Amino acid sequence: MQTLINKKILLGVTGGIAAYKSAELVRLLIKAGAEVRVVMTPAAREFVQPLTYQALSGHRVYVDLFDAEADSAMDHIELARWCDLMLVAPASADFLGKMSAGYADNLLLTLCLASRQLVAVAPAMNQQMYANAATAANLEQLSSRGILVWGPDAGEQACGDVGPGRMLEPAHLLTNLEICFKPGKLHGIGILLTAGPTREAIDPVRYISNRSSGKMGYALARAALHEGAEVTLVSGPVSLAPPAGVKMISVESAAEMLDAVMQEVPGSDVFIACAAVSDYRVDQQADHKIKKSTQTMTLDLVPNTDILAAVSALAERPFCVGFAAETRDLEKYALDKLKRKNLDMIAANLVGDGSGGFEADVNRLEVFWDGGEHSIALADKREVAKQLIELIGERYTDALSGNPSKA
Ligand code: PMT
């Protein structure tokens, strides 16, 4: 593979005995044609001298957050912008804990916060520390934010213990890096995605909304990015971090979501409507907070435009994929939406029974298209998203070759 040629890799080294192996990784990366800059935490310097990495990478090594020489080199924001990918190897338990909590008390942690690029970590620690619930929670938290967790390996450790916690070998990390830069199946395809709920204001402090967390839509955005797509994510209010590399557009109401989507449609090849858009909005929004009274209150609701149907009705439309959230008769309602909204595909999920759909970390989907269907079994939303994106990629390619007017 020659995918690393001219790629800019920022290698973070934290305090652990495996730091010596990262010197070999630098050598392998340079040999593969990558440009490498190394950032060390203060603890890493207790294990390996910066000079080692400097000699191998051909560049000065960055250690201090407040560096008097920064003017003549790159400051931390520039460094974060410079790289195509940041890999922290070895990543100690302490570093992973701080990274998961969003600390920025050394240069490497600051770069992790400031980076919009893909970040990967290669954990390395004693097997008992790795088995600790705190470490597991930190890694799960990082992974849910889209940070790639590579390893650890199992085997004999420097302290004499045996078990999982060893850093992956440099050659293995190199392969993972090469895979990251391999052109994906959706390379160059523009994917427009909606995610999360919308909020329809009642007055300045109250609104109508729903239980969508955005997890399914954000997982789809990540899976599409991973396959090389150019992703635009139009999202309602959620508490998730935007996946690194997406063009992010945050909206609140269905009307704002419609405007944003219509603006982005012209550059998009595929439109995936995963958002739970409010079907209605309040007819007359109150200018001031509505006062409590003992009387029954009635709100007049008017229908919102169906964003998905509006996109699929365009003369020059992208390949349109809808979702159907149903509490019963999943197939019947999904097929009805597929036809009525003139879609290329629909992914249907049962909601409201607690086994997936809204808010949950897991989901299962029944996917339908004209003349075909496919089930995606109950799994973590990240896995479900991966499988759905793969299927969309296949169907989109078929549509392109078989029926150009549809794509
Ligand atoms: O966000 P999570 O907590 O992870 O939950 C994921 C999910 C359950 C929200 C997601 O998997 C899902 O099912 N999204 C669609 C929810 C929905 O509103 O379904 P619907 O059957 O009411 O709408 C059908 C389709 O029309 C959807 O693609 C929807 O985005 C679209 N629509 C609906 C109304 C509207 N005004 N505009 C639209 O574009």
Q: Distance from the CA of 194 to the center of ligand 1, in angstroms?
A: 9
DSSP string spanning 275-289? SB--SEEESS--SSP
Range of the domain at 241: 190-400
Do 297 and 395 reside in the same domain of the chain?
yes
Quick: pLDDT tens for 115-158: 888 899 999 999 999 999 999 999 999 988 889 999 999 888 88
Q: Which residues pair with 352 in a beta bridge?
A: none
Look at residue 303 in the predicted model and tell me its pLDDT. Answer: 98
As beta bridge partners, residue 228 has none
User: Cα(3) to centroid of ligand 1, in Å?
Assistant: 38
172 and 228 co-located in one domain: no
Q: Which tens digit of pLDDT belongs to each residue from 229-259?
A: 999 999 999 999 888 789 999 999 999 999 9
Look at residue 194 and tell me if it is in a domain: yes
Confidence band of 405 (pLDDT split at 50, 70, 90): very low
In the chain, the percentage of residues whose pLDDT exceeds 70 is 96
Q: CATH number of the domain that 136 lies in?
A: 3.40.50.1950
Closest CA to 200 of 140, 256, 281: 281
Same domain, 145 and 42: yes
Is 367 part of a structural domain of the chain? yes
Q: Which atom of ligand 1 is nearest to the CA of 357?
A: 8
277 pocket-lining for ligand 1 (C-beta < 6 Å): yes
Please give the average per-residue pLDDT across 330-335, as a whole number. 97
Among 117, 151, 181, which residue terminates a domain? 181
Distance CA(312)–CA(100), nearest Å, equals 41
Q: Per the residue annotation, which of 159, 180, 274, 320 is the catalytic one?
A: 159
Q: Which amino acid is at 244?
A: A
Catalytic, 159? Answer yes
Residues 177, 197: one domain? no
Whether 405 is covered by a domain: the verdict is no
372 forms bridges with which residues in the sheet?
369
Residue 330 has pLDDT above 80, yes or no: yes
CATH number for the domain that contains residue 210: 3.40.50.10300
Amino acid at 179: I
Tokens 């149903």 correspond to what residue? Answer: 326
Name the pLDDT band for 407 (thresholds 50, 70, 90).
Answer: very low
Q: Which of 149, 181, 213 is the last residue of a domain?
A: 181
The Å distance, Cα 395 to ligand 1 centre, comes to 21
d(CA 321, CA 292): 43
pLDDT tens by residue, 201-231: 999 999 999 999 999 999 999 999 989 899 9
pLDDT of 354 over the 80 cut: no
Do 165 and 152 touch, CB atoms closer than 8 A?
A: yes
Task: Express as a percent the part of the chain with pLDDT over 90.
Answer: 82
Q: Are residues 37 and 114 in the same domain?
A: yes
Statement to judge: residues 232 and 148 lie in one domain: no
> Among candidates 374, 376, 398, 372, which has minimal Cα distance to 385?
376
Q: Is the CB of 351 under 6 A from ligand 1?
A: yes
Q: Is residue 177 part of a domain?
A: yes
204's tokens: 């300045």
Residue-level pLDDT at 70:
58
Helices (H), 250-375: 254-264, 307-312, 330-340
In a domain, 129, yes or no: yes
The predicted model gives 38-49 an average pLDDT of 96
Q: Are residues 306 and 210 in the same domain?
A: yes
